Amino acid sequence: MAQEQIHRHNIGTLLRHVHLGGSVSRATLAERMGLNRSTIMALTSELGAAGLVREAPPTDTRRAGRPSLLVRARPDWAYVLAFDVAVDRLVAARVGLGGALLDRREAVRPRAGADLEHVVDVLAQFGRQLYEAAPPDSVCVGIGASYCGMIRPGDGMVRFGPDMGWVDQAFGAELSRRLGLGIPVRVGNEAHLGALAEQQRGAGIGFQNLLYLHGDVGVGGGIIVGGKLLDGDGGYGCELGHMVVNPYGGRPCGCGSHGCLEAEVGERALLDAAGRPADLWGRDALRAVVDDADRGDELAREALRRIGDWLGIGVANLINLFNPGMVIFGGMLRDVYPGAAPQVRHRIATNVLPVARERVRLSTSALGDDSTLVGAAELGFADLMADPLATLARTTAHA
């Protein structure tokens, strides 16, 4: 590892601490990064000169000794554009350094028949509006997008978007071209980004190993292993929705197989189990089943128990594999989980080896329906965190 690399690593790490932590004292930064205070001071000065952070005296001066200056992200200058292509909506937002959501646009998306042209049209228009409404001296340092499908990491190609029937659509490149800001659009799978968002700003803070299960029509997954998103060789890992749990006699799955986890616990499985008509679908229909169960409707309760048993088998398998500290239920599973929790816990007790379940916790997502959007914003910030000064030089050159 050479000097230049180390400097880049250190300055990026410091910016990440401040970006995620709000305001952090120089002393805390020195401790967390294992560096002495003069090095921290030098790095902070560089980031300050670049306009990314500011220093301020601490407000709490009760402690004895010379107070350590607080380092804060400057939220009103450097920002990212974040996009979310979900099964039922299209969202765009402007998010400042430090994570504040500064501005936002949203449209309902028809469930079927959304082609690349239409999706990019809506998002690019939102994006231009957000860009033009930003303060004149501010700078867009990155763009991130969340998509409900399998994404090639390098260029944001949608390899497979089952919900819209997309195969090999150049979503990232096309959105970047239409925005015309000269900044590449980084695209990630919605469940991957939801996992990162929950780990950085939600229910998973402090956990190095966590599972995030994201329900929409199907079930996606984001898995953090040793602090990093599991991506695999091509970036296509974490497909826990297609774990076969019911190979003989299981429900047909959208992937062409049978008995996948998402076929047994997805939206359609729950609505069918609750005796709802086949032409009823969507988040509201699903919430109605959960509400009915809460009111004591036996068919709705039994539907949640049944879904809970399959969900529990899937989660138990994943805990055996990943020995995580935390399992987070997001998307529509946030609605489903509370009523299904007894079955999930029973399966964990039955199927997970005792030492692997000693400390695991289960939770619904803390960021709610914004987990994927927050994840997209963090993806937009990734270049800045990896190399703050070079990224800033590149993006301000385009402004």
Give the distance, in angstroms, between the CA of residue 151 and the centroid of all CA atoms in the same chain: 14
The minimum distance between CB 344 and its own copies, in angstroms, equals 13
The minimum distance between CB 259 and its own copies, in angstroms, equals 9
Contact at 8 Å (CB) between 281 and 268? yes
The minimum distance between CB 258 and its own copies, in angstroms, equals 9
Whole-angstrom distance, CA of residue 5 vs CA of residue 393: 17
Judged by beta carbon, residue 89 or residue 361, the one nearer its own copies is 361
Judged by beta carbon, residue 30 or residue 377, the one nearer its own copies is 30
**319 Cβ partners below 8 Å, 6+ apart?**
211, 327, 348, 352, 356, 357, 360
Judged by beta carbon, residue 30 or residue 143, the one nearer its own copies is 30
Judged by beta carbon, residue 163 or residue 335, the one nearer its own copies is 163
**What does DSSP assign to residue 367?**
S
**6 Cβ partners below 8 Å, 6+ apart?**
none
Judged by beta carbon, residue 197 or residue 260, the one nearer its own copies is 260
Judged by beta carbon, residue 214 or residue 283, the one nearer its own copies is 214
Judged by beta carbon, residue 23 or residue 189, the one nearer its own copies is 189
The minimum distance between CB 171 and its own copies, in angstroms, equals 15
Whole-angstrom distance, CA of residue 51 vs CA of residue 54: 8
The minimum distance between CB 302 and its own copies, in angstroms, equals 17
CA-closest candidate to residue 344, choices 357, 50, 331: 357
Contact at 8 Å (CB) between 191 and 197? no
The minimum distance between CB 165 and its own copies, in angstroms, equals 14
Residues that bind its own copies (CB under 8 A): 1-2, 5-6, 9-10, 33-36, 39, 150, 159-160, 208-209, 221, 223, 225-226, 228, 230-240, 242-248, 255-257, 260, 313, 316-317, 320-325, 350-356, 358-360
First-to-last alpha carbon distance for the chain, in angstroms, is 33
Contact at 8 Å (CB) between 158 and 150? yes
Judged by beta carbon, residue 79 or residue 171, the one nearer its own copies is 171
Whole-angstrom distance, CA of residue 49 vs CA of residue 191: 36
* Residue 275 CB neighbour total at 10 angstroms: 11
Whole-angstrom distance, CA of residue 284 vs CA of residue 218: 16
Beta bridge partners of 94: 81, 103
The minimum distance between CB 393 and its own copies, in angstroms, equals 22
Whole-angstrom distance, CA of residue 84 vs CA of residue 117: 16
The minimum distance between CB 277 and its own copies, in angstroms, equals 28
